[in-house]
Structure formats: C-alpha cells, structure tokens
Structure 1
C-alpha cells in the first residue's frame, strides 16, 4: 500500500511525470464513483461522469492551491460534473412521498445507519440512498460514508453551513422513512420486542 501524500503526487504531475496522476486516480476512483452514482443514479452515466471528473482534475491540477484537501477539491469537481450531467439529461425526478416521522423515530436514524453497516445490508443502504434526490444523496454519502465535515461539504457543494445542516437533517428523515421497513423489524427482534 502506498502511503505517500496527495501533494507528493500532485507535485510529480506538475513536474512533468504525468503517470503519477494514476496514483491519485487509483486512490479516489471508488469514492468519486460512489458519490457520482448516488447523484446521477445510472451506472453507465456515473462511470462517464467519474471519468470526466478525473480528466477535469488533471487539466486543472495547476490551479489546485491546497487551501482545501485534495479530496475535497476533487469531490467538488465530481459534484459539479454530476449536476451538469443531470441538467444535460433533463431528468425529472419523481418525488418520493415521505411519511411524517415523529422525533422519537428520528432517534433511531443514527442507530439504524450504524446497524446496517455489515455486508449484506450495504446494498439496502445503497438502494435506499439512490431513492433520495441527487443533492441529498450526495450530502448523505459525503457526511456518513466519506466522513466529510459540514465545513468540507459546504466547500464541495457551495451551500451555507446552515443549509447543509438542514438538508442533512431532512435527508436523514427521508432515508429513515425508506429504511424503516428494513430496520424496525430487525431492531425490535434484537431488543426482544414484537411489532
């Protein structure tokens, strides 16, 4: 496993060693693809947008100033490329009908996300996130799966911290609404309660 810093490879690329960029691609390709897929909701289109993200990052590498982490800068490009792809395709998202959720049920959201981490449940989580609107899917992915802070998400998607927090709260509620049919029977069974 290579433990060199991102800046090490950036410096090599800028010094003319273009093959060093492949290390950055390898390091971030899975994460970029995940964020993009959850926004564009189409595997083939996600692959294309992820590739475009890395092309744009390579072409713009000399403009990277290091003010933010390279990953944050790269996710910003991925987010914007995803939005461009969505607009270009003029896709209409069907609004999900979200049930009213009590505050008591909301407390289960954090438990639910932690509870659903094992391998056989990752697909349920991924499918559920795909049902969220693009921007909310990106925020949930960046916050919970890429472990980005609210400040980093603000840099990536260009909203205020308050807007990100509101979207994160609403997205968790929507995600819980989608996931609760998978979660509640299992949580109740684990706690010895019947539904």
Structure 2
C-alpha cells in the first residue's frame, strides 16, 4: 500500500504537480533527518543534509525506477550526502583495537547489559553509539533501529554484502569496547554477579 501510495505522488510530481512532493517530504523528513543526525552528530549539519537530500531527490525523481522502495532510494541519497559532509569536515576518530575482544567478553557484556534497566540501557547505548565513527554508527543504526534488511543496506550504502557484514561485525565489536570503557565498573560488577 505504501509503495503504491508513494508511486502515486511520484507520478504526480513527474507530471508537473510539484506540490505533490510535499507529501513525500512530510512522510520521510524524520527518517532522513534521523539518519543524517546519527551519522553527523550535529543538528545544523543534519538539517542541511536533510534539505539537500530532498532537493537532490526532487531533481533526480525521474531517475527513480521503482525497483526498490522510495524510502531506500532516499536513504541512499541521504547516506551519500552525509559521507560528502564527513569528507568535507574530515573528522577523525580514535579507533579502539577490536581484534582483542573475545566472544566470551561479548557474551559477558551482553549479560551485564541485560540486567540494566531498559531506559538506563537505552541512554548508555545511545551515548556509546555516538562515539562510533559515522560509517559504523550508520550501518548499525540502519540495521537495528530502522530494521533495514541487508539487501536494503547494500542498496543504500553501495557496499557489497560481504562488506556490509564485515562492517556490522566490526561495529558491534567496536561498540562493545566503547560500552566496556564507558559503563561504570560498579554497574558491571553489580549486575554481573546476579
């Protein structure tokens, strides 16, 4: 239903009814802004990228073939715009060595986090996610929070399936190291003993 509904508005825009585009902007503005903010961690830049995304999408609407969902096509434009912004800013992050993390440490930390209250856990995870590099944060966000399939993530990012899987794996491990360093040891000890 949604795909047909989107296509109806896309067809109207392509026939010259530029006001029909307002429906698509309204429907997807939160989605696009959320992706931009998760990648850029800056409200002004996220707003700018969101606006640029919708302008680019409008100008290239005739190139949308309908082979994927409109939202996926729009995500791809937003994702690329974010990468361009990141390149311009050339932000640098300190990457923790993730090769030292063992499966037991991953399971132990997951068990600890299961014991933390849901809201507290969400706040902790959000703070830890913000410390990830943009590419890792965005892949995790697309997969877990927006629940895009691997196929959709591949389309959005233009990465190979193997590359997306590797990025997801590395991002999880990297997130684990950040969680381990940022969750207070008392909380880990308290909940780890239960």
Q: Which residue of 2 aligns with 1:52?
A: 52
> 1:111–1:58: structure 2 CA closer, same or farther, 3 Å change rule?
farther
- Asked if 1:101 corresponds to 2:92, the answer is no
C-alpha distance in structure 1 between counterparts of 2:104 and 2:39, whole Å:
29
Unaligned runs of 5+ in 1: none
C-alpha distance in structure 1 between counterparts of 2:80 and 2:117, whole Å:
28
> 1:94–1:18: structure 2 CA closer, same or farther, 3 Å change rule?
same
CA RMSD of aligned residues (A): 3.0
What TM-score, normalized by structure 2, do the two folds share? Answer: 0.83
Unaligned runs of 5+ in 2: none
- Asked if 1:182 corresponds to 2:183, the answer is yes
Per-residue CA shift, 1:104-125, capped at 9, x if unaligned?
Answer: 2323677788888955554433
Per-residue CA shift, 1:76-100, capped at 9, x if unaligned?
Answer: 00011111111222x2312132463
> 1:25–1:111: structure 2 CA closer, same or farther, 3 Å change rule?
farther
State the SS of the aligned residue for 1:92: coil
Q: CA deviation at 1:34?
A: 1.6
Q: Which residue of 2 aligns with 1:71?
A: 71
Contact 2:96 2:177 in 1 (8 A): no
Q: How many residues align?
A: 191
Q: CA deviation at 1:75?
A: 0.6
- Asked if 1:82 corresponds to 2:82, the answer is yes
C-alpha distance in structure 1 between counterparts of 2:139 and 2:62, whole Å:
27
> 1:190–1:88: structure 2 CA closer, same or farther, 3 Å change rule?
closer
What TM-score, normalized by structure 1, do the two folds share? Answer: 0.82
Q: CA deviation at 1:7?
A: 1.4
C-alpha distance in structure 2 between counterparts of 1:88 and 1:133, whole Å:
15
C-alpha distance in structure 2 between counterparts of 1:182 and 1:109, whole Å:
10
Q: Which residue of 2 aligns with 1:166?
A: 166
> 1:176–1:61: structure 2 CA closer, same or farther, 3 Å change rule?
same
